[in-house]
Amino acid sequence: MKTRRRGSNRHLWFCAAPAMTLFAAFWLLPMLRLVGVGASGPSGAMAYLAVLSNRHYLDSLVSTLLLSLTVTLVTLAIAAVVGLFLQRNRFPGKSLLMAMLTFPLAFPGVVVGFMVIMLAGRQGLIGALTDKLFGQSLVFAYSLAGLFLGYVYFSIPRVILTVMAAAEKLDPSLEEAARSLGANGLRVFADVVLPALTPALISSGAICFATSMGAFGTAFTLATKIDVLPMAIYNEFTSYANFSMAAALSIVLGLITWLALALARSLSGSSVPAAA
């Protein structure tokens, strides 16, 4: 019996071998190498602290963090309300609405950037409308505000889906109980619904935060001079050929996003995937 089990485990290792080899050769080893390259510049391993000590990188880091946090909070607020509403109400045209809300899920960052240009760019809708109404066209696509709009655009469909899936599992009798005890709608929402949705909000918020920190396509489409960390890494690498600094910064960025996701997972329970 014992030998048979060992035999079947060996067979399982054989199944995992191709994927593990691929992963080790093309991700794990290159990543270790990248850590080494990051410490190979003139300042050695101190390069990893440059994010904090160098004014320019610190500014990029702070504006990226602030941008990602704002995007996360705004997205969560909007998507929680809309997701709950969609889960709880039936009305004609709902499935069409759902299809439209989830359509942008598959857009890459570059396309999202282009959508922002369509809305708030030089020939955009907002510009045309404000020009008609106030005689002056409002154009903000090519700045941090445009990036904010893009990341919210990108994140809303994901969070709506997560909220809907979580709201589906809510026990309606809890809310009825709260209501029968005299709680009004707002109290029920704050004390019963929101706590039940919290794990889903934390996990989808973390994914939203991590993508906003590391995404690059949207910023790239809007303007290469937007000062966020991924753009700073890109410029170090291509414009200044400062490979060690680019490596150090991307390791720091990777650590931040990984930590955010890991933290969210431990807060919201192990059933939540690392990223979705």
Partner 1 sequence: MKRASRNALQFYLLLLLTLLVCAFLIVPVLLSMLAGVTENFFVGLSSGFTLRWVMAVWETYEPTIWRSIVIALACLVVTALVGVPLAYMLARYRGGNSRLARLLEELLMMPVAVPGLATALALIMAYGQYRAFRGSLLFILVGHVLFTLPFMVRPVLAVMQSSQLALLEEAAASLGAGYWQRFCGVVIPNAMPGILAGALMVTTLSIGEFNITWMLHTPLTMTLPVGLADSYASMRLEVGSAYTLIFLFMIIPLLIAMQWVTQTTQARVRL
Residues 90 to 149 in contact with partner 1, rule: CB under 8 A: 91, 97, 99-101, 103-111, 113-119, 123, 125
Least separation, in Å, of the C-beta of 257 and partner 1? 6
233: contact with partner 1 by CB under 8 A: yes
216: contact with partner 1 by CB under 8 A: yes
Give the binding range for partner 1 (CB under 8 A) out of 49-57, 89-97, 130-138, 168-176.
89-97
Residue from 130, 143, 220, 235 that binds partner 1 (CB under 8 A)? 220
71: contact with partner 1 by CB under 8 A: no
186: contact with partner 1 by CB under 8 A: no
177: contact with partner 1 by CB under 8 A: no
81: contact with partner 1 by CB under 8 A: yes
Residues listed for the chain: 276
Number of residues that bind partner 1 (CB under 8 A): 81
In SS3 terms, the chain reads as CHHHHHHHHHHHHHHHHHHHHHHHHHHHHHHHHHHHHHCCCCCHHHHHHHHHHCHHHHHHHHHHHHHHHHHHHHHHHHHHHHHHHHHHCCCCCHHHHHHHHHHHHHCCHHHHHHHHHHHHCCCCHHHHHHHHHHCCCCCCCCCHHHHHHHHHHHHHHHHHHHHHHHHHCCCHHHHHHHHHCCCCHHHHHHHHHHHHHHHHHHHHHHHHHHHHHHCCHHHHHHCCCCCCHHHHHHHHHHCCCCHHHHHHHHHHHHHHHHHHHHHHHHHHCCCCCCCC
Q: What is the CA radius of gyration of the chain?
A: 23
Give the binding range for partner 1 (CB under 8 A) out of 52-60, 130-138, 167-175, 267-275.
267-275
202: contact with partner 1 by CB under 8 A: no
Least separation, in Å, of the C-beta of 109 and partner 1? 6
Task: Please say which residue, 144 or 203, places its beta carbon nearer to partner 1.
Answer: 203
76: contact with partner 1 by CB under 8 A: no
46: contact with partner 1 by CB under 8 A: no
263 vs 273: CA distance, rounded Å: 12
Give the binding range for partner 1 (CB under 8 A) out of 6-14, 47-55, 132-140, 166-174.
6-14
28: contact with partner 1 by CB under 8 A: yes
Give the binding range for partner 1 (CB under 8 A) out of 65-73, 131-139, 153-161, 166-174.
153-161
156 vs 95: CA distance, rounded Å: 17
Task: Please say which residue, 60 or 250, places its beta carbon nearer to partner 1.
Answer: 250
Phi and psi at 90, nearest 5°, equal -115, 135
Largest CA distance in the chain: 84
212: contact with partner 1 by CB under 8 A: no
12: contact with partner 1 by CB under 8 A: yes
157: contact with partner 1 by CB under 8 A: yes
